[in-house]
Amino acid sequence: MGGRVAVLVSGAGTNLQALLDDPEISPHIHLVISDRPGVRALQRATEASVETMVMSPSEHDDRDAYSLTLRDALLGKDIDMVVNAGFMRILGPAFATAFEGRWLNVHPALLPAFPGAHAVSDALDWGAKVTGVTVHLVDEQVDHGPIVHQEAVQILEGDDLDSLEARIHEVEHRLLPQAVGLLLQGRLKVEGRLVLIQEARDA
């Protein structure tokens, strides 16, 4: 099991915490980058003695310039894998190409249903009975890449945004570390849109 992991964050960092709490994954997390200063996720990384950086999009001319700067920062740190853990920025093709097959995102819905930044409220507004969590490899399109894990979450009568988000977070905190572990172990094989999980190699 090898590889240097960078985690991209924007907020509270509960998914980052799930990765830091996993004894198989935590030693591989070498960098946490936020697009916003002062967020709780950065504090979590510091408490775990992980290097942090803040890279604000406002300091760059456009998305492509920001994506290139972020890519170069990760390559400069010899990062092998990238994990979006509540990262609320869309990065350009240059970043996707650099980390093709090595970049994971967790999304609070069953893609391709309810893509975008408001997936939980969109599911409630739609009157859906079921939503869930998707962990997928990231490609050049938003919430689009090949799916590694999915799990359904029932929408209960009387659910509001807070209650539904809480149950979705519980699933995210389980599925994301599983997917990161598989990628670190080299057990994900992509054939078109299909992700095959290979048997664990003998120690």
Q: At CA 175, angle to CA 171 and CA 176, rounded to 5?
A: 115
Residue 113: both structure tokens together: 């249903």
> Exposed (0-12), middle (13-18) or buried (19+): which is 65, by Cβ within 10 Å?
middle
Strands 188-191 and 81-84: unpaired
CA separation for the pair 202, 177 (Å, rounded): 21
> Exposed (0-12), middle (13-18) or buried (19+): which is 40, by Cβ within 10 Å?
middle
Residue 71: both structure tokens together: 């890519």
47 neighbors 125 (Cβ within 8 angstroms)? no
Q: List residues with catalytic annotation.
A: 107
